[in-house]
Amino acid sequence: MDTATLVTFIVYLVGMLAIGIISYRLTSNLSDYVLGGRSLKPGVAALSAGASDMSSWLLLGLPGAAYASGLGSIWLAIGLTIGAYLNWKFVASRLRSYTEVANDSITVPDFFENRFKDGSRILRVISALVILIFFTFYTSSGLVGGAILFQESFEMSYNTALLIGAIVIISYTFLGGFLAVSWTDFIQGILMFLALVVAPIVAITELGGWGDTMDQVTAVNPEGLDLFAGASAIGVISLLAWGLGYFGQPHIITRFMALRSTKDVPKARLIGMSWMIVSVAGAVLVGLAGIAYFAADPLIANGVDNSEKVFILFTDVLFNPWVSGILLAAILSAIMSTIDSQLLVSSSALAEDFYKAILRKNASDQELVWVGRFGVILIAVIAVLLALGGNPANENASSILDLVSYAWAGFGSAFGPVIVLALFWKGMTRNGALAGMITGAVTVVVWPMLETELYEMVPGFILATLAIIIFSKVGPQPSEEIKAEFDSAVANDITK
């Protein structure tokens, strides 16, 4: 373990804790803790949304996929980029407007209940349960990824690495809530961006420039630069369908709700999409450069697949220990920025959608903030126990990616159609929302049993949309109050 690398890493972790302490002093009520008092500036909202979205997939998964299969892996990145743009273009402003009009909703379940005037609380409870269940396992997979990074980089034991990462993330999320998460995500997003700009430039320069690098890639893998190599129609559709998931990811769309104003959306969209396009391109280039750079000692050999370590290996062989420490911190940033957001959304659901809505309707803001804080600890402890329960020797990137894929499809199918139609269709009803949510979630659970190549997001999203339309048409229609709120939300939406 190099001392310079370790020192750089420790400075980064201490900085994240310092942000949590500062944010603690700025958090006085539940809206502050859950949504930052709707005070996010465009740059913070954009990079926070991007960083919490991408996780370790951006620095480990995508470079590894590009290394393993060349440009044929880019369809997933294209689908996500298109989905992210559509989310910023159509959902961001309308959701920011509607959540304020609908009784100042501060969580996704809160919005569902207020949007449809659901006195039964069933929408709130079911959506909160979906959040808690999916995010607990999602968080656990992220903690495993962080532990493996510590383990590989600093020769720690798996359990020690797991606990160190968990303690840091829990601490700043516990203290500062949404502001701490957003500001740490902002810094983490910058780190990720710089890492994915610097690493491929240095690697390609070392290989003799762009032309020489691409020639070497083709020499090692003749299909490496073929966009359609090994691609089937269903496979391409499945990868592109990942983009549909954006509409239903609570840890991403809460950034839209937290913006200062709908007027900030265009600037935030420009920043966010620029960050994403450059970062995704850099990740693909890291993988392609890795094909050429490690040709003599391939990362996939003798039945062992180490392709997702390509970025980590580049940090070791291309940079001095100080820079290497910063780049490794960027990988941890990718992991932390997703986990902290998931913890916060889950604890918000616990405080606002269970404790306040069901147990203590008259709970004070200060009481709810502390319930949220202890919710962070509770959910994180369960996630850590799940991570400890696994056998690290058997953990691999595909099992983590499979879990993330499943959770992404779950949220995208259960919440995505509900969010989109709730924002843009005045005739949608409570029964339609409930039917869509249940149909989407059940489809995602059942579809893999059919053992088909088609990603469960595709049937889940389609069937949920159909369920919403059918049940909204046959049941009681929206009241005049609901229609008036819809019109008010549209009037305040700059994208209308």
Report residue 93's pLDDT band, with 50, 70 and 90 as the boundaries.
Answer: very high
> Residue 13: pLDDT above 60?
yes
Q: Helix H segments across 390-429? A: 397-414, 416-424
Comparing 64 with 362, which gets the higher pLDDT? 64
Q: What is the pLDDT of residue 435?
A: 96
What pLDDT is stored for residue 397 in this prediction?
36
Query: What SS3 class is residue 440?
Result: helix
Q: What is the pLDDT of residues 147-189, one digit of tens each?
A: 767 776 777 777 787 787 777 767 766 665 666 667 777 887 8
H-only helix segments in 207-309: 210-220, 233-240, 250-257, 265-293
Give the other-Cβ count within 10 Å of 312's Cβ. Answer: 19
Other beta carbons less than 10 A from residue 73's beta carbon? 25
The DSSP result for 200-215, as a single string, is: HHHHHHHTTSHHHHHH
Q: With bands split at pLDDT 50, 70 and 90, how would you rate the model's confidence at 395? A: very low
Question: Average of pLDDT values for 468-475?
Answer: 94
φ/ψ of residue 248, rounded to 5: -120, 10
Model confidence at 466, pLDDT cuts 50, 70, 90, reads: very high
Tens-place pLDDT, residues 279-336: 999 999 999 999 999 988 888 877 767 787 888 888 888 888 888 887 777 777 667 6
**Average model confidence (pLDDT) for the chain?**
82
Q: Spell out a b/e string for 196-230, using b for 16 or more CB atoms within 10 Å of the CB, else e.
A: bebbbeebbeebeeeeebbebbbeebeebeeeeee
Q: Is the model's pLDDT at 399 over the cut of 90?
A: no
Helix H or strand E segment including 301? strand 300-301
For 72-97, the three-class secondary structure string (H helix, E strand, C coil) is HHHHHHHHHHHHHHHHHHHHHHHHHH
Of the CA atoms within 13 Å of residue 466, those in its CB half-sphere come to 8
Say whether pLDDT at 424 is over 80: yes
> pLDDT above 90 covers what percent of the chain?
33
Q: For residue 302, which phi and psi values (nearest 5 degrees)?
A: 55, 40
Give me the residue spans of the domains in the chain.
3-396
- Measuring CA to CA, which residue among 38, 423, 88 is closest to residue 257? 38
Predicted confidence (pLDDT) at residue 440 exceeds the cutoff of 90: yes
Chain-centroid distance, C-alpha 199: 23
Mean pLDDT computed over 70-91: 91
The two tokens of residue 159 are 């359990």
Average pLDDT over residues 409-430: 95
Residues 6+ apart with CB under 8 A from 224: 70, 71, 217, 218, 288, 291
How many C-beta atoms lie closer than 10 Å to residue 106's C-beta? Answer: 24
Pick the residue with more confidence: 451 or 102? 102
**What pLDDT, on the 0 to 100 scale, is given for residue 276?**
93
Q: Which two tokens stand for residue 92?
A: 């961001």
Q: Which helix (H) or strand (E) holds 304?
A: strand 304-305
Q: Across-strand partners of 408?
A: none
pLDDT digits (tens, 9 = 90+) for 236-275: 899 899 999 999 998 889 889 888 888 999 999 999 999 9
For residue 393, the model assigns a pLDDT of 41
Pick left, alpha or beta for residue 320 (phi over 0 → left; psi -120 to 50 → alpha; otherwise beta).
beta
Q: Which of 4-18, 72-86, 228-242, 433-447 has the lowest mean pLDDT?
A: 4-18
Across 52-56, 248-252, 379-383, the highest mean pLDDT is recorded for 248-252
In terms of CATH architecture, what is 3-396? Up-down Bundle (1.20)
Handedness of CA 253, 257, 259, 263 (dihedral sign): positive
Query: pTM of this prediction?
Result: 0.85
Instruction: Give me the pLDDT at residue 315, please.
Output: 84
Q: How confident is the model at residue 392 (pLDDT cuts 50, 70, 90)?
A: very low
Q: Report in angstroms the alpha-carbon separations of 140 from 167, 183, 336, 356.
A: 13, 23, 12, 26
At residue 484, the pLDDT reads 93
